[in-house]
Amino acid sequence: MGASEARQFAWEAPPLEQRPRRRPKVRWSLDQFLDPLALAVTAPMALFPERFPPPAMLIGLAILFVPYGVRQVNAGRMTARTAALWPLLFLLLVALPVGAYASPAFWAVSWPELVRAVWGAAVCLGVINFCAAGGSWPSRRSVKPHVAWATAGFLGVGAILGVLGLLAMGANDKLPVVGDLARGLTGALGGLGQEGLNPNRVAGTVLLMVTPATLLTLAPQRDRRIAPAVWGLGRVGLLGLAAFFGGVLLLSQSRTALLAAAGATTLACLLAGRRGWVLLGVAVLMGLAVLSVFGPQRVLDVIAIKRDAETAPGAGVWATIAADEAMAGRRMIWARAWHGVIDAPLTGVGLGAFHLLAQQPYPALPNYRPDPDTTHAHNLALQTALDVGVPGLLAYAAVVFLAAAAALRLLLHSAADSAARLWAAGMVGALLAFLIFNSLDAMTLGARPAVTHWLLLGLVLGADAGMGAR
């Protein structure tokens, strides 16, 4: 090509910023699905390790390593790099084995907790690698396809666990009217009555899905390749999921979960933009209507139903809260948990062993009555320190903190009133709900329902690594 022809071509070509931007085609490959497949295959062994011989766990561990070996061969790295990788690996490879070693009853108590916690950390890493898979584009408005599919899986797992929770949820009578409705529904579904699952645990399982499902129903349609009818069906499905998750929370009558859901959704709506503000305005008007009809004290008297006999209704807000028997019980459990942390700060008292310690008169506390239902410390920070020691707690806290930082970074990276902004605001709300609920209750690292916690952390960290928000 001559110089004159080159000048003519350069003159005719439009400037780079005026050229139409084409999104690269999303790259899907078989190795990107190895993580979900390996996790699904090993799920029965991980969730019910007591039903499998220990040698079978070696086979499960080998299956979990397959995706990492494939990535090492194909991409030259075993896993995607995130800021939370090293604290997560420390928790997985050091803190959990140390906590299991310190246990006074390894096979009876710590072995199942260890297997489920290791598998949960593998879930987190697997979701990170799936979301961070290459071939997509960073966008201020769109949610990356890999992240969208992972989000659908996150909500789907929550729906499955919510249905199972309704079928197996134990009966309770914390709230008027709602308690009768819950007993009738669980009875009609073949519930287990008092022998069923703890309602607080059921609530903690689906709590993380309420805010993301609610905000994603407000997402605008940007992709013209999706038919409006299909988009409408998807929105109806998300609305149904949000209503289902909220219904499960209400039927569980978990005051901690309801408080966490309200606070998380409020913050997420404030961060989401104009669409979220409209939703928040409607919710505030409904709340003001309830308060105007019944009054703040009457609402508090209904919520704080477990009061000391000496505390009469209308005794005042702070007196009602202070007299709540559940809070009194938590303060006693927290005191015993704190003594356990002080006695074994480096190793913890043993993975999953706190419920054994809680039934013993150590240290001596006035008016202490052993409670067979004291299976955890009702605070995730205390529970994690009891399980894996203070170093393990710091590692887990670092993972949660870095996930929160990633969610805020994605929020700032997204455009106003876009699907990406609503998604990021929903994840910020889910993390806030996680923190509020686990401050007054706890889902141990190796609990079966804690898979939703690991999924949430992996989803946020993987989205940050894959969307290039830096």
pLDDT at 16: 43
pLDDT digits (tens), the chain, 470 positions: 455 544 444 444 445 444 445 555 667 788 889 999 999 999 999 999 999 998 899 999 999 999 999 999 988 899 998 989 999 999 999 999 999 999 998 999 999 999 999 999 999 999 999 998 865 555 688 888 899 999 999 999 999 999 998 888 876 776 766 666 766 666 655 555 555 678 888 999 999 999 999 999 998 876 566 667 777 888 899 999 999 999 999 888 888 899 999 999 999 999 998 989 998 998 888 888 877 776 666 666 656 555 444 445 555 555 655 566 667 778 878 888 898 899 999 999 999 998 887 766 555 656 656 555 577 888 999 999 999 999 999 999 999 999 999 999 999 989 888 899 999 999 999 999 999 999 988 889 999 999 999 999 999 999 998 765 34
3-state secondary structure of 422: helix
Cα-based torsion angle of the residue sequence 316, 317, 319, 320 in order, rounded to the nearest 10 degrees: 100
pLDDT at 410: 93
pTM assigned to the model:
0.88
Listed in sequence order, the residues at least 6 apart from 428 whose beta carbon sits closer than 8 Å to its beta carbon are 267, 268, 271, 404, 407, 408, 411
Q: Which long-range contacts (CB under 8 A, 24 or more apart) does 352-355 make?
A: 352/103, 352/109, 352/110, 352/112, 352/113, 352/387, 352/444, 352/446, 353/103, 353/104, 353/105, 353/109, 353/110, 353/386, 353/387, 354/383, 354/386, 354/387
Under a CB-based contact definition with an 8 Å cutoff, are residues 407 and 429 in contact? Answer: no
Under a CB-based contact definition with an 8 Å cutoff, are residues 149 and 463 in contact? Answer: no
Domain edges within the chain: 30-39+48-60+81-273+324-467
pLDDT at 100: 95
pLDDT at 20: 47
